[in-house]
């Protein structure tokens, strides 16, 4: 998923179709001079519908689509024939897409499963034909309902990646390298901060043909919830992850303090993120000897943790085992089994 092709935020003006007018037609035939009303109903206006598509990972296809208009309903006809419904517009979006109104930020809908369809903007109702207004005191009504106007509003589409495990850490903590060795994902990797400018997804193979999805989120810095660094632009992708995997390098000055800074940024952005299950991976552990590793164990926060090295492969199988147990068993912070 290259940075130029990954789009997770678009604004679009959406307008549903107007409903068609009902018909005020009166039946007139050679041998039925006073046949009465026979006007049909107008068709409904077209809806704008979002549909989930698991083959999509980005909103790129909507980046330059500033306006989306649905079709208008047809007018009713004689012999009680109804007008045609307006053409619906179906917009395919990746799973995890949220639609909000631009002015208020109100969430209208979320798409989370493949093939799921939800109406974003309803079309206007068609007007009733004059046949509906016939009564004993009004045998030949010469009026019908006009169609209902469609709705128009500006909407924001946001993509929040759906993944089982989200990698959380400072820039250059080794998250992208970890993703590249446990999955087939090929994120950009270099020895400087903010190498990762877009989220990357990888499928991690596990035993017995099982697998789970891991997301590499661009690095967090202190003050990210206020927009510093890459800011809150990518923090929303963490909201949909089942597990937060904190990646902290072994050569950091204070592992517990770095973990607390990261945790605090998540807390300030959205306190509900603290309810998610958490696992710790101490990256770059090939730099440690047994004595240093033993000393660091005493300083680790009280969550399940593993020492790993993406360079040598040390601890990666333990990490996958731990993540799988957490995924299937609801492992919590209070159920720490100790550090490997």
CA–CA gap between residue 39 and residue 19 (Å, rounded): 16
CA–CA gap between residue 117 and residue 26 (Å, rounded): 40
Q: Which two tokens stand for residue 206?
A: 């596990």
Which one-letter DSSP state was computed for residue 26?
Answer: B
For residues 81 and 118, membership in a common domain is answered with: yes
Number of structural domains the chain divides into: 2
| Domain of residue 114, CATH code | 2.70.210.12
| Domain of residue 297, CATH code | 3.40.50.300
Reported as a single tens digit per residue, the pLDDT across 49-80 is: 999 999 888 898 998 889 999 999 999 999 99
For residues 90 and 232, membership in a common domain is answered with: no
Reported as a single tens digit per residue, the pLDDT across 199-224 is: 777 888 898 888 888 888 776 756 54
For residues 264 and 178, membership in a common domain is answered with: yes
For residues 126 and 88, membership in a common domain is answered with: yes
CA–CA gap between residue 127 and residue 189 (Å, rounded): 60
CA–CA gap between residue 94 and residue 115 (Å, rounded): 10
The answer to whether position 29 is within a domain reads yes
Q: Which carries the bigger pLDDT value, residue 56 or residue 238?
A: 56
Picking from 125, 159, 193, the residue at the C-terminal end of a domain is: 159
pLDDT over 60 at 175, yes or no: yes
The answer to whether position 340 is within a domain reads no
The answer to whether position 257 is within a domain reads yes
pLDDT band at 338 (very low <50, low <70, confident <90, very high): very low
For residues 105 and 169, membership in a common domain is answered with: no
For residues 51 and 144, membership in a common domain is answered with: yes
- Mean per-residue pLDDT over the chain, rounded: 85
For residues 114 and 233, membership in a common domain is answered with: no
For residues 105 and 194, membership in a common domain is answered with: no
Spatial CB neighbours of 71, under 8 Å, sequence gap ≥ 6: 17, 45, 46, 86, 87, 88, 89
CA–CA gap between residue 73 and residue 40 (Å, rounded): 13
For residues 48 and 104, membership in a common domain is answered with: yes
Domain membership of residue 238 as a residue range: 165-335
Contact 163, 201 (CB under 8 A): yes
The answer to whether position 176 is within a domain reads yes
For residues 3 and 152, membership in a common domain is answered with: yes
**Dihedral sign (CA 304, 305, 306, 310):** positive
Contact 16, 150 (CB under 8 A): yes
pTM score, two decimals? Answer: 0.70
The DSSP bridge partners found for residue 318 are none
For residues 250 and 135, membership in a common domain is answered with: no
Picking from 140, 159, 178, the residue at the C-terminal end of a domain is: 159
For residues 193 and 284, membership in a common domain is answered with: yes
């Amino acid at each position: 998923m290259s940075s130029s092709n990954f789009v997770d935020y678009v604004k679009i003006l959406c307008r549903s179709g107007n409903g068609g007018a009902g018909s005020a037609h009166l039946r007139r035939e050679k041998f039925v001079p006073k046949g009465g009303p026979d006007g049909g109903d107008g068709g409904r206006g077209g809806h704008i519908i979002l549909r989930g598509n698991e083959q999509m990972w980005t909103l790129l296809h909507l980046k330059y689509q500033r306006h989306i208009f649905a079709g208008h309903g047809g007018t009713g006809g004689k012999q009680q024939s109804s007008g045609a419904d307006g053409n619906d517009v179906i917009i395919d979006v990746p799973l995890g897409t949220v639609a909000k109104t631009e002015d208020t930020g109100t969430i209208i809908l979320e798409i989370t499963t493949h093939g799921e369809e939800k109406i974003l903007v309803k079309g206007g109702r068609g007007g009733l034909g004059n046949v509906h207004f016939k009564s004993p005191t009004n045998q030949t009504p010469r009026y019908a309902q006009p169609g209902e106007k469609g709705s128009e509003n500006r909407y924001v589409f946001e993509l929040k990646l759906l993944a089982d495990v989200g990698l959380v850490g400072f820039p250059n903590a080794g998250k992208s390298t970890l993703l590249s060795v446990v999955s087939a994902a090929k994120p950009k990797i270099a020895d400087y901060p903010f190498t990762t400018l877009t989220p990357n997804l990888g499928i991690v193979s596990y035993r017995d043909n099982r697998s789970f999805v891991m997301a590499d989120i661009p690095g967090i810095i202190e003050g990210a919830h206020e927009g510093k660094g890459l800011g809150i632009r990518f923090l929303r992708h963490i909201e949909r992850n089942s597990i937060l995997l904190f990646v902290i390098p072994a050569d950091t000055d204070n592992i517990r303090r770095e973990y607390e800074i990261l945790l605090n940024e998540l807390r300030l952005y959205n306190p509900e993120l603290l309810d998610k299950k958490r696992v710790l991976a101490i990256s770059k552990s090939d730099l440690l000897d047994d004595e240093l590793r033993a000393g660091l164990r005493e300083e680790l926060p009280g969550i399940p943790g593993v020492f790993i090295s993406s360079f040598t492969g040390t601890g990666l199988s333990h990490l996958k085992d731990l993540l799988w147990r957490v995924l299937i068993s609801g492992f919590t912070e209070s159920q720490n089994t100790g550090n490997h």
